């Protein structure tokens, strides 16, 4: 029986760690349906989209970063006097129990000074920084150029 003790101890330790992790406050902010669009060669800007959902208290998105671009701007789009107008905003309120939607033709995340074009099928790492929830890093699948929706699945090949 003695020989079983060390593995058993390990098991209990593991359960303890898991329990400790689970009991820590879990962020109520989630990044869902995040994706980016492939970019044409020669153009060093791109766009990414996501839905931020918040099941907890009000928070604020204060910055977005990406490993493949110098800068990421949060853009609001609106129709003004017949023109589509987009403007960078410093931060975005994420209301308690609410959602913030970035989508084609609307608000979006503009990737500025891309180090190289984004290629369809690859993953782009982006970090969303919140005032309360902190940093959340997600991997965004890259959809075809101009696509208006997230890639349906990683196995969806187009030729």
Partner 1 sequence: MTIITERRTWTLALVVVAFAAGLWAAHRWHRASSAVAGPEFQLASLSTSTPAQDFTLYDGEGRSRSLRDFRGRVVLMFFGFTRCPDVCPTELFKLSQVKQSLADDGARVQVIFITLDPERDSPALMQTYTSAFDPDFVGLTGSREQIDKVAAQYYVAHAKAGPPDNYVIDHSTSTYVIDPAGRLRLLGRMDTSVETFVHDIRLLLQEQPGGTG
89 binds partner 1 (CB under 8 A): no
105 binds partner 1 (CB under 8 A): yes
What phi and psi values does residue 114 have, to the nearest 5 degrees? Answer: -65, 140
The residues near 115 (Cβ < 8 Å, ≥ 6 apart) are 68, 69, 70
Nearest-angstrom CA–CA distance, 22 and 137: 19
Nearest distance in Å: CB 124, partner 1: 14
Nearest distance in Å: CB 104, partner 1: 5
Nearest-angstrom CA–CA distance, 125 and 122: 10
98 binds partner 1 (CB under 8 A): no
Q: Which of 3, 80, 152, 153 binds partner 1 (CB under 8 A)?
A: 80
Choices 16-24, 53-61, 81-89, 131-139 (CB under 8 A): range interacting with partner 1 = 81-89
DSSP summary character for residue 21: H
């Amino acid at each position: 029986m003695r020989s079983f003790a060390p593995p058993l101890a390990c098991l209990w330790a593991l359960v303890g760690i898991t329990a400790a992790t689970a009991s820590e406050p879990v962020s109520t902010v989630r990044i869902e349906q995040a994706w980016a669009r492939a970019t044409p060669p020669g153009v060093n800007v791109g766009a990414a989209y996501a839905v931020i959902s918040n099941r907890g208290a009000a928070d604020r998105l204060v910055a977005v970063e990406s490993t493949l671009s110098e800068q990421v701007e949060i853009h609001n789009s609106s129709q003004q006097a017949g023109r589509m107008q987009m403007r960078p905003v410093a931060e975005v309120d994420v209301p308690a129990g609410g959602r913030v939607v970035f989508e084609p033709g609307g608000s979006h995340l503009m990737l500025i000074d891309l180090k190289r074009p984004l290629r369809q099928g690859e993953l782009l790492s982006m970090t969303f920084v919140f005032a309360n929830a902190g940093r959340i890093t997600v991997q965004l699948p890259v959809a075809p150029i101009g696509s208006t929706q997230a890639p349906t699945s990683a196995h969806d090949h187009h030729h």
